[in-house]
Structure 1
Amino acid sequence: MDKNTIIGLLLITAIIVAFTIYNRPSKEQIAEQKRLRDSIALVEAQQAEIATELGSKQASTSLSDDSVLGQGSSLSDFFRAGTPYNEAINDSTSEVTILANEPVNEEIVVLENDKIRLLLNTKGGKIQSVQLKEYLHYKGDSLYLFENDQESRFNLELFNRNSLRISTENEYFTPIKSTDGKTVIMRLQNSSEQYIDLVYTLPEDEYMLDFDIRISGMRNGLHPESLANFKLNWEQKVRQQEKGRAFENRYSRIHYKYDKQDDSKLSESKNDQKELPDPIKWFAFKDQYFSAIVIADKPFNNTILTSQLLNDSEYIKNYKAEVWAPVEISTESDLISAGFKYYFGPVHYNTLKSYDDGVSNNSDKLELEEIVSLGYKWLSWVNKWFVIPVFNYFLTLNWGMGLIILILTIMVKIIISPLTYKSYISSAKMRVLRPQIQEIEKKYPGQEQDMMMKRQQATMELYSKAGVSPMSGCLPMLIQMPVLLALFFFFPSAIELRQQSFLWADDLSTFDSLISWSGNIPIITRFLGNHISIFCLLMTITNVIYTKYNMASMDTGQQTMPGMKNMPLFMSVFMFFFLNSYPSGLNYYYFLSTLITIVITLIMKKVIDEEKILAQLEENKKKPRKKSGFMARLQEAQKLQEKQAREQAKQNAKRNYRK
C-alpha cells in the first residue's frame, strides 16, 4: 500500500468520526425520544388491556401481522382520523363492541343473470370468479375468465390524514344484498356513519355491470391524495381458453383508449409496460375471444399497464393495471365516491358496439369494438361495413357455418368478378401475342445487356401497337386485395366460428388436425407446430394445382429472371407453413376460393374466343395509336437506359484498349 492510499484512508476515517460526533443527538433530543417511546408503550399497554377485557370479540377489529395498517393498529385507527378527537376517545370502546359481532371468515356471494355468474368474496370485497354461461372451454368445461385468488386481484389503497394506509384486499367486508338480487354491497364498516362500500349492480341479460366505490364519514379524515384520487390495482392471469395456444397468444393483448382519442395496445409478442400520464377512458384485459374491460366514469388520471408472457401450461399471460381514479365529493352529504363499469364477455363486434347506441357525440363514444382485430384501420372498413353485416344476416337464417362460409365466398367472388374478368382478358391478350414475342426472343437472343434492352424495347413496341398494357392485369388484382386481406383478418376474430363444427373440423375457430404429435421435431415443429391441418393441406394442394395450370396458360413467352419463374409455386407451398396453425374456417374459405377461381378460369377459357382477341389486336396495329403516358415514359426510360449502356460500353472499350 503506497503513501497516498494510507493518507486517503486516514482522511476518510477522520471525516466519518467528525460527522458522527456532529450529528449526535443532544440531551434534549434524547429525552424527547425517550418520552415518545414511553408514550407508545403506554398506548400499547392500554390496547392490550382492552383486548384482554373484550376477549375473542376483539379479534374482528384487529388486523393480522400482514396488514398494511401495521403492527398494533386496527381498522378503527384508520377511521378514527375522520372522527372528532373527543368523540373518538369516548366512543372507541363502543365502536369495537359494534364490530365484535361481524364475521371474519370468508363468505361467497353469488351475483348472476342469464349471461354471467359472478362470485364475490367478502375478503377484499372483490369479484373472485367470473363465469360466462353461454360459452365453454375448448375442453368442454365451463368457461371462466378467472376463478380464484391466484388468478385475479383487486385492491383499493387509501391513506388517512395521519398517513395510515389501508388496503382493502386484506379486509373482511359484510355483504348486503338487495331484495331484487341485482345489487350486492360489500361494506367495510366502522360505525353507522363511517364505512367503505363496494357496490356491484348487474342488470338482466347484460355482460356489463356497474361498480361504485363509496366512502362515508371520512371527508375530513382522508389524506388529500386520497381525496383527489383513489389508487386501485387490477391483476389477472389469462387462461388458455382455445386449443391453439400459440395462435391465441398472438391475439391476446391489453387494449386501452385515451379519453376522446384513439385506442392503442401493448405488445402481444413480448413483455411490455407503459406508463400513461394522459387520461384514459378504459383498458381491456383481452384474450382471443373474451375480455375483461374496466371503464371509468371519469377518465383515469395516471395509469401503468403491464403485460407479461407466461410459460405456464394453463395460462398464457399476466396482466396488471395500476390506476389513479378521480373521486367525486358530494356537496350534500359526507360521501366520497368513484364510479366504474366492468365488461365481462365475448369479443364480439356488434355486442361491444351496442354500448354506444344513442351516443351522438363521437368524442363521448366508448368504441369498445376496437378491441376486435379486424385489420389495419385503412382495411377494417371492409369488415365493418360489408363482411360483418352480411355474415350476421346469414346467421339469422340458422344455416350451418360451412354453408355460410360457402355462400360468403361465392358472394365475394361475384363482387370481384368484373376485376377478375379484366385481369383474365389482359392475360389473354398477352398470351395470344406469345408467338410474336418468341420471334423477338429469337431476333435478340442472349443475356447481354445490349440484347436484353433491344428485346425489351421491341416487346414494348409490340404491346404499344397492339394496344396491350402489361400493367392492366395487375391493377384489378390490386383493387381486390383489400377485400381478400379483410377476410384474412375477419375469420380469426369471428367468435361465431368458435366451437362450430363442419365435416371433420370440430371447431372452425382453430386448426383441424389430420396428424398430431407431441414433443419437438427440429424445423418442422418450429414452422408447423405439432399438427398438420386437413383444410390447410387441401388448400395448399388445390393452390399448387391452380398455380401450375395458371403458369402454363399465362406464359407469354417472355424470358424471366432465373428463379422468378417458379416463385408463384414456391409461395403456394410457403402458405401451407404460414396458415397451418390458422383457423380451419379461414383455410376452408381459401380452399373454396381457389376451387371457385379454377371453375371461373375454365369457364372463361371456354367462353372467351382468343382468336377474336388476336384479330382485334392485329387490327389495332393498323390504326395510328397515341401512346399512353405510361408507355411513353417507359419507352423514354428504355432509350435513356440504352444510351447510357452504349456510353458505358465505349468507356469500357477505351479502358481495355489503354491496357
Structure 2
Amino acid sequence: MEEKKLDVKSIVGFVLIFGILMWMMYPKEPTKQELAAEKAKKEQLAKDAAQQKNTKTAEIVAPTADSLKGDSTQIAKLKGTLGDFAYSATLPSAKENLTTIENGLVSLTIANKGGYIVSAKLKKYERIKKGSGDLVELIHNNNAGLNLKLQTQDNRVIDTKNMFFEPTLSKSGENQVLSMRLKTGPDAFLEYTYVLKPTDYMLDFTVRSQGLNKVLNTSKPADLEWTLKSFRNEKSASYEARYADLRYAYEDSKQDYLGQGKDKTETVDKVSYIAFKQHFFTSILLTDKPFTKAELYSDNLVHNDQVDTVFTKQFRATVPLAFENGELNQKMNWYYGPTDYGILKTYDRNIEKIVPLGWGIFGWINRYLFIPAYDFFSLFMSQGLAIIFFTILIKLIMSPVTYKSFLSQAKMKVLRPDIAELGEKFKKDPMKKQQETMKLYNKAGVNPMAGCIPALLQMPVFYALFQFFPSALSLRQEGFLWATDLSSFDSVYKLPFFIPLYGNHISLFPILASIAIFFYMKMTTGDQQAAAPQQEGMPDMAKIMKVMIYVSPLMMLFFFNNYASGLSLYYFISNLITIGIMLVIKNYIVDTDKIHAQIQENKLKEPKKKSGFQQKLQDMMEQAEAEKANGKKTK
C-alpha cells in the first residue's frame, strides 16, 4: 500500500493555524499612533478637569477651619455657595487628618476629606515576592475614591469627596466603630459608619442622613460613585491583569463580569454586590438591599508586556441611593481581602463565585473534588509536593480511562494487517473499503470510537485544572525546587531581548512539560494513525497526528512560559505518570497475543449487534454506494 507522506502544504497549514490561535489568545499591543492618541486624550481630560475648577460645582471644595477662623466675610461667602454644608468647613475637623482602624488581618486608613478609605493593607500578605516586607495594598496613595453626589433644593450639586467629615472612633464590644459625619448643623448631618470586627476582612458600612430633607432634593436618588485604580501586587503585571476584572451579582444571585479590554461598560439592574477583582485580592461592595441599577466601567491599563506598570486596571461603579421619608439609610458592606474560595464562602453571600473556577461541570469538579482534595494534601506537605500527590491522585482516578484507551489502541494495532489487506483489495473503491472495514470491526468486536471516548472524558478534567491552578491562592509566593513562586512563572534565565508571545525569560517547567508531552504523543499517536483508516473526502488523520506531535509541545512551551509554574509542574508530572502507566499496561497487563487470539475467535462467531453509531455509519455508506451505482447507470 502506498505510504502517506507529510507534504509541505500540510506543514504550512498547521503553522498558520497555530499562529492564528496564538494571535487570538493574546491581545494585540497598541500601535504608536494609538498610544499617542491615548496620551492626547488623557492630556485633554486633565485640561478639562483644570478648567472645571472655575465652575460653580468645583467651587464646592471646602477650605480648612484655620483659613476661616474669625473671617465672617469668607464664611458668609461660603454659605452663599454651599448653603448649610458650609457649617462643616468651620469645624475643627475640617483639615486633612487621618483615622486608622485595624485588626489582625487588615489595616484601613480613612481621611477626613471625603470620609473614605485612602489606604487598605492586608497584614498577612506581602507584595511582589516573599520577604520583601511590603504589605499587599488594595488602596494605595489615593488610588481609590468614594463620592456621593447630592442635589440641593435650589439645584446645586454637592460632591462629598470635596467635603470634610468629622471622625468619631469608638468601641462596640470588640468591634471598632468609626463615624464620619458631614455636618450641616448641630443636629443635621450625612454620616458614613464603618464597623470593623476583630477577626474579619469584611466591615459593615452604612450611609445615612439626618435633618437634610430641608436642604436636599430628596425626590431623586443620590449617586454613589466608587472608583479603584488597581495597584499591582504580583510579580508579573500582564499576568495579574489577565485575571483582574470587574464582577457582579444581579437579579437574585446571577453572576457575570465585565470582559477584558479597554473602556468596557455595562448597565445592570438589581445588583447585590460589585467586586473590583485583582488576581489574588479583591475589593467588594455588598448591599443588604439591592441597588436598583449599577453603571459599571472597566479599562485595561497594561498595554505592553515589556513595560513594568504600577497599575493594572481602572474600575468604576455608580449606583443610586434612594431617599426614604426624606433621608438616606443604606446598609452595605466592604470586603478588602484575598480572593480565596474558602474565605469568601464563609460569608454565605455568593461572593465565592467571583473566583473563576469555570462554568457548569468544570466549576463543579473544582468546587467539590479538586479544592477539597488539594487542601487536604497541603495540610501535610509543601505546596510543590501537594501538587505532585494531587496529580498522582487524579491519574489514579483516571487510570481506568487510560487503560480502556490503550486497550482500544492495542486491538486496533492487532487488526492492522487485516485493515491493510482490505485497503489493498479495495484501493480502487474507497467506499467498499470502508464498508468492509466496518464489517471487520463488527466481527472482531472492536469499536473504533472506543479510543476517542476516554479522551473526551478527560477534557472536563483538563479544563477544570486549567481554571483551578491560576485561582489557587495557596500557591502564591510558595517555592518548589528552582521556582520561587508557584503562582507565577519559574524564570531560570533572563533573555536580553523580548520574543513576541513568549516573553523575555525562559521558564523551565514548561520546557519539561513540553518534552513529556512530546514523548507521550509519540507513544500514543503511532498506533492510532497506523490503525485509523483513511476515508475518501476526509482529512488524512495520519498527517494531522504527525503534525500535532510537534505542534502540541510547541504550543505548551509558548503558552505556559508566562503562566503559573504550578500548572506547568502539574502537566509535567501528569504526563510522566501517564507514560509510566502506559508502559506498565503495555508490558505487564495487555497481552497482544491474547488479544489477537480473542479477535480471531470473535471473527468466527456471529457478528455482534451493531451500535447505533456503527449502524448509522454503515447505512450512510450503503446509501452513498447505491447513489454512486445509480449515477454510473445513468451515464
Q: Structures share a fold, TM > 0.5?
A: yes
The offset of 1:165, in angstroms, is: 2.3
Within 5 A, what are the aligned runs for 1:252-651? Answer: 252-276=244-268, 278-311=269-302, 313-329=309-325, 336-356=328-348, 366-397=349-380, 399-445=381-427, 450-517=428-495, 519-520=497-498, 525-558=499-532, 560=534, 561=540, 563-569=543-549, 570-606=551-587, 607-628=589-610, 629-648=612-631
- Counterpart code for 2:193: V
Inter-partner Cα distance in structure 1 for 2:328 and 2:263: 36
Alignment partner of 1:223 is 2:217 = yes
Are the counterparts in 1 of residues 202 and 333 from structure 2 also a CA contact under 8 Å? yes
The answer to which of 483-492 and 135-144 deviates more is 135-144
The offset of 1:565, in angstroms, is: 3.5
Q: TM (normalized to structure 2)?
A: 0.82
Q: Secondary structure at the match of 1:517?
A: strand
**Aligned position for 2:59:** none
The offset of 1:504, in angstroms, is: 0.4
Q: Deviations over 1:173-225 (max 9, x none)?
A: 22111046711111222332112221111101111111111212223332123
Inter-partner Cα distance in structure 1 for 2:71 and 2:434: 94
Alignment partner of 1:153 is 2:145 = yes
- Counterpart code for 1:172: F
Q: Secondary structure at the match of 1:190?
A: strand
Inter-partner Cα distance in structure 1 for 2:632 and 2:556: 44
Are the counterparts in 2 of residues 540 and 573 from structure 1 also a CA contact under 8 Å? yes
Are the counterparts in 1 of residues 237 and 309 from structure 2 also a CA contact under 8 Å? no
Unaligned runs of 5+ in 1: 1-50, 64-70, 81-94, 357-365, 655-659
- Counterpart code for 2:347: Y
- Counterpart code for 2:240: E
Inter-partner Cα distance in structure 2 for 1:245 and 1:650: 70
- Counterpart code for 1:483: V
Q: Deviations over 1:545-576 (max 9, x none)?
A: 12112223445344551632413312232222
Q: TM (normalized to structure 1)?
A: 0.79
Q: Secondary structure at the match of 2:267?
A: strand
Cα gap change, 1:351/1:62 in structure 2, threshold over 3 Å: closer, same or farther? farther
Cα gap change, 1:641/1:510 in structure 2, threshold over 3 Å: closer, same or farther? same
**Aligned position for 2:206:** 212
Q: Report which structure shows greater RCO (CA 8 Å, sep ≥6).
A: 2
Are the counterparts in 2 of residues 250 and 269 from structure 1 also a CA contact under 8 Å? no
- Counterpart code for 1:165: V
Q: Deviations over 1:24-79 (max 9, x none)?
A: xxxxxxxxxxxxxxxxxxxxxxxxxxx9xx9941569968xxxxxxx944399533
- Counterpart code for 1:372: V
**Aligned position for 1:112:** 102
Alignment partner of 1:57 is 2:69 = yes
Cα gap change, 1:502/1:195 in structure 2, threshold over 3 Å: closer, same or farther? same
- Counterpart code for 1:125: G
The offset of 1:308, in angstroms, is: 1.0
**Aligned position for 1:79:** 84
Identity value in percent = 37
Are the counterparts in 2 of residues 78 and 165 from structure 1 also a CA contact under 8 Å? no
Give the structure with higher Rg (CA): 1
Cα gap change, 1:60/1:155 in structure 2, threshold over 3 Å: closer, same or farther? farther
Cα gap change, 1:61/1:349 in structure 2, threshold over 3 Å: closer, same or farther? farther
Inter-partner Cα distance in structure 2 for 1:431 and 1:211: 68
The offset of 1:643, in angstroms, is: 2.7
Are the counterparts in 2 of residues 157 and 232 from structure 1 also a CA contact under 8 Å? yes
Alignment partner of 1:164 is 2:169 = no
Inter-partner Cα distance in structure 1 for 2:532 and 2:89: 92
Q: Deviations over 1:482-505 (max 9, x none)?
A: 122211110011111111100000
The offset of 1:101, in angstroms, is: 5.1
The answer to which of 54-63 and 176-185 deviates more is 54-63
Unaligned runs of 5+ in 2: 1-62, 303-307, 535-539
- Counterpart code for 1:374: L
Q: Secondary structure at the match of 1:74?
A: helix
The offset of 1:513, in angstroms, is: 1.1
Inter-partner Cα distance in structure 2 for 1:218 and 1:486: 53
RMSD (CA atoms): 2.5
Are the counterparts in 2 of residues 299 and 326 from structure 1 also a CA contact under 8 Å? no
Cα gap change, 1:437/1:109 in structure 2, threshold over 3 Å: closer, same or farther? same
- Counterpart code for 1:515: Y
Inter-partner Cα distance in structure 2 for 1:103 and 1:589: 57
Are the counterparts in 2 of residues 426 and 472 from structure 1 also a CA contact under 8 Å? yes
Q: Secondary structure at the match of 1:514?
A: strand
Are the counterparts in 1 of residues 412 and 531 from structure 2 also a CA contact under 8 Å? no
Inter-partner Cα distance in structure 1 for 2:309 and 2:458: 41
- Counterpart code for 1:613: I
Q: Secondary structure at the match of 2:296?
A: strand
